[in-house]
Amino acid sequence: MKNIPVLLFTLWLAAVMSMPYAAEAPAGPPPVFQAVGKISRLDIPGQTVVINDTPYRLTATAKVHTPRTRFATLQDLATGMTVGVTVANGGGATPRVTEIWVLPPGGMSSFH
């Protein structure tokens, strides 16, 4: 009976300590991307990314995901990275990227 408080405290501590890591764990990518390819040009101030020679506008709220973190930034991107993107057509000629998923060399299974 004396060990019950110690056991409860240990379980509580384990649960509390795992919360920050669960919040940062990457979510799985969407089942379908509107485009997949390598970043050939990235202009963050100009809000443009070129993937497989196709230009896309970056929205001000574009989200970046990597295999290691759910909340990366545009500054974490680099030319040569393989990415998948979701886009929203805002009525303009150039599609607007709303989310960018950096794809690992091992494929999308690394997100799970």
For 21-67, write each residue's pLDDT tens digit: 444 555 566 668 888 999 999 999 999 999 999 999 998 889 999 88
Which pLDDT does position 39 carry in this prediction? 96
Residue 25 lies in a domain: no
| Confidence (pTM) | 0.67
Residue 10 lies in a domain: no
Distances (CA, A) of 65 to 19, 21, 75, 76, 86: 19, 15, 12, 9, 12
The number of domains in the chain is 1
The alpha carbon of residue 37 and the mean position of all alpha carbons in its chain are separated, in whole angstroms, by 15
Residue 66 lies in a domain: yes
Residue 105 lies in a domain: yes
Residue 89 lies in a domain: yes
DSSP 11-58: HHHHHHHHHHHHHHSPPPPPS--SEEEEEEEEETTTTEEEETTEEEEE
Grade residue 12 by pLDDT with cuts at 50, 70 and 90.
low
State how far the Cα of 11 lies from the Cα of 16, in Å rounded to an integer. Answer: 9
Grade residue 68 by pLDDT with cuts at 50, 70 and 90.
confident
Domain of 84, in residue numbers: 35-111
Which pLDDT does position 85 carry in this prediction? 93
State how far the Cα of 14 lies from the Cα of 18, in Å rounded to an integer. Answer: 6
Residue 3 lies in a domain: no
The DSSP call for residue 72 is B
3-state secondary structure of 73: coil
